[in-house]
């Protein structure tokens, strides 16, 4: 069998205790622990003393009428939260051959409260090792791991990305600019260069965390009393900040894709129907504004239109976007990746295949193959040869 349907956006929701045994003993006391909450659900106790309840997005197995983001979650019985054997059963139920596994939102929130950088780095390393060597190793052709970076200094990110490549994780998730600013910097270049040299795909889950900082490091800064406009804001204003529109524009204007022509970035879980309008308007804004931006701000003009860079270098993920599928040619069918978001609120498990078929009604066989598997295979450098899928297991 060949891959027919791969989710390019799924999540590994497991309690922290499944991987904290890998934390070095000297940091073990700072690792999160699992506790039972008064409502019977599972929670996590952080080093700071704060308690996090698990599963804010746990939707699988529920309906819109019964779902609540504050509902108790029992990880021992919840859909999408079990061991890898259970996950394979759930994939079969959904008609999915493989999943790209992003980290648990809750688990990452818990460990990011750890202040000591060395202890925090040990947690990130423990999670990545568990993901590669225990969880995904159960069925490496079906469980595709996305490595996590610490984002506490460029050197730490570089070391962890190299480690992720060494242990066989398929991509690294970038949550902030590597240089630590709210905009691209020259320091970031070391990270992009390393990713290209390692042949490590770079993924952004929805968007980067920008904070409230400036949108760009302009070479020239006119006095505030005579100038209060912002070039980048003008260019990306027709896109949605939460969907990656801001950093996509920043990367283009900063010349990152000119500097690294082999760099590709996948923005997961963002829908795609907005992209043709965003591309069109960004190009129009660029034509109207790049002359004064060069003159007043020192921003170098581009060799091509902004949209041309993104059509070549950006992959985009969607989950439920009938309009986007009708506009797939305008988006660029070779840059669209489907994801189920299992087991979070967006998922239609166990009917993902059925839901996607309805969205792709009328699509050619070639377009369907690209969206359902081929684009992700190319982006992750997966072996496109036939894979041996395990016989359907019995329910655990």
- The CA–CA distances, whole Å, from 218 to 146, 183, 223, 360 equal 33, 10, 13, 43
Taking 50 as the threshold, does the pLDDT of residue 22 lie above it? yes
Render pLDDT for 52-102 as a digit per residue (tens, 0 to 9): 876 656 767 777 787 777 777 888 888 899 999 999 999 999 999 999 999
The gap between the terminal CA atoms of the chain, to the nearest Å, is 24
What's the average model confidence in pLDDT over 30-42?
A: 88
Task: For the full predicted model, state whether its pTM sits above 0.85.
Answer: yes
- The CA–CA distances, whole Å, from 38 to 2, 52, 81 equal 47, 13, 20
pLDDT given for residue 74 in this prediction: 82
Choose between 162 and 211: higher pLDDT: 162
Q: How far apart are CA 103 and CA 54, in angstroms?
A: 13
Q: How far apart are CA 383 and CA 395, in angstroms?
A: 29
Q: How far apart are CA 147 and CA 132, in angstroms?
A: 9
Domain spans of the chain? 6-26+79-380
pLDDT given for residue 234 in this prediction: 93
pLDDT band at 287 (very low <50, low <70, confident <90, very high): very high
DSSP string, 159-200: HHHHHHHHHT-SEEE--S-TTSSSS--TTHHHHHHHHHHHT-
Taking 80 as the threshold, does the pLDDT of residue 36 lie above it? yes
Query: What are 58's two structure tokens?
Result: 């746990």
Render pLDDT for 293-346 as a digit per residue (tens, 0 to 9): 999 999 999 999 999 999 999 999 999 999 999 999 999 999 999 999 999 888
How many Cβ atoms sit within 10 Å of the Cβ of residue 388?
Answer: 7
Q: Determine the topology of domain 6-26+79-380 in CATH.
A: TIM Barrel (3.20.20)
pLDDT given for residue 146 in this prediction: 98
Instruction: Compute φ and ψ for 278, nearest 5 degrees.
Output: -60, -45
Q: How far apart are CA 389 and CA 146, in angstroms?
A: 21
pLDDT given for residue 37 in this prediction: 86
pLDDT given for residue 394 in this prediction: 44
**Residues β-bridged to residue 33:** 45
pLDDT band at 39 (very low <50, low <70, confident <90, very high): confident
In the chain, the percentage of residues whose pLDDT exceeds 90 is 75
How many Cβ atoms sit within 10 Å of the Cβ of residue 88?
Answer: 19
Render pLDDT for 165-176 as a digit per residue (tens, 0 to 9): 999 999 999 999
pLDDT given for residue 54 in this prediction: 66
Q: How far apart are CA 20 and CA 160, in angstroms?
A: 17
- The CA–CA distances, whole Å, from 114 to 110, 121, 232, 244 equal 8, 10, 34, 27
Q: What 3-state class would DSSP assign to 37?
A: coil
pLDDT given for residue 386 in this prediction: 40
Choose between 391 and 290: higher pLDDT: 290
Task: Please name the residue that has the structure tokens 């939260």.
Answer: 81
Query: Long-range contacts of range 14-20, CB-CB < 8 Å, 24 or more positions apart?
Result: 14/75, 14/81, 14/104, 14/107, 14/135, 15/42, 15/44, 15/54, 15/75, 15/81, 16/44, 16/107, 16/110, 16/111, 18/130, 19/126, 19/127, 19/129, 19/130, 19/131, 19/134, 20/123, 20/126
pLDDT given for residue 40 in this prediction: 82
Task: Please name the residue that has the structure tokens 């989950």.
Answer: 319
- 137, exposed or middle or buried, with CB in 10 Å at 0-12, 13-18, 19+? middle
DSSP string, 46-93: -TTS-EEES-TT--TT--TTT--TT----TTTSTT-S-HHHHHHHHHH
pLDDT given for residue 384 in this prediction: 45
Render pLDDT for 202-227 as a digit per residue (tens, 0 to 9): 999 999 987 778 899 999 887 665 56
Average pLDDT, the chain: 91
Q: How far apart are CA 245 and CA 238, in angstroms?
A: 8
Candidate from 82-96, 228-242, 285-299 with smallest mean pLDDT: 228-242
In the chain, the percentage of residues whose pLDDT exceeds 70 is 94
Q: Are strands 143-148 and 171-173 parallel, antiparallel or unpaired?
A: parallel
């Amino acid at each position: 069998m060949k891959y027919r349907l791969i989710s390019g956006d799924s999540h590994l929701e497991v309690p922290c205790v499944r991987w904290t045994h890998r934390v070095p003993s000297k940091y073990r006391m700072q690792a999160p622990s699992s506790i039972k909450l008064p409502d019977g659900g599972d929670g996590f106790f952080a080093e700071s003393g704060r308690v996090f309840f698990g599963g804010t997005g746990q939707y699988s197995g529920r309906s819109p009428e019964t779902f609540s983001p504050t509902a108790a979650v029992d990880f021992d019985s919840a859909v999408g939260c079990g061991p890898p054997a259970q996950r394979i059963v759930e994939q079969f139920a959904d008609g999915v051959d493989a999943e790209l596994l992003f980290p648990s939102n809750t688990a990452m929130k818990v460990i990011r409260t750890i202040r000591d950088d060395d202890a925090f780095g040990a947690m990130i390393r423990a999670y990545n090792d568990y993901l590669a060597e225990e969880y995904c190793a159960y069925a490496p052709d079906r469980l595709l791991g996305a490595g996590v970076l610490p984002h506490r200094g460029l050197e730490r990110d570089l070391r962890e990305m190299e480690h992720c490549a060494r242990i066989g994780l398929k991509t690294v998730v970038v949550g902030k600019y590597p240089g630590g600013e709210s905009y691209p910097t020259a320091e970031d270049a070391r990270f992009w260069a390393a990713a290209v040299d390692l042949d490590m795909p770079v993924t952004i889950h929805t968007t980067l965390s920008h904070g409230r900082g400036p949108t760009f490091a302009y070479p020239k800064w006119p006095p505030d009393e005579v100038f209060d406009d912002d070039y980048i804001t003008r260019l990306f204003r027709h896109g949605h900040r939460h969907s990656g529109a801001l950093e996509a524009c920043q990367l283009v204007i900063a010349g990152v894709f000119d500097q690294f022509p082999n760099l590709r970035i996948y923005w997961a879980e963002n829908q795609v129907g907005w992209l043709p309008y965003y591309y069109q308007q960004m190009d129009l804004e660029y034509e109207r504004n790049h002359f004064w931006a060069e003159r007043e701000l020192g921003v170098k003009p581009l060799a091509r239109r902004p949209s041309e860079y993104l059509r070549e270098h950006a992959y985009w993920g969607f989950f439920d976007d009938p309009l986007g599928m009708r506009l797939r040619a305008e988006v660029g069918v070779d840059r669209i990746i489907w994801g189920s978001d299992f087991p979070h609120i967006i998922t239609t498990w166990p009917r993902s295949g059925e839901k996607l078929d309805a969205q792709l009604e009328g699509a050619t066989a070639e377009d369907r193959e690209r969206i359902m598997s081929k684009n992700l295979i190319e982006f992750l450098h997966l072996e496109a040869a036939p894979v041996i899928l395990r016989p359907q297991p019995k329910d655990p």
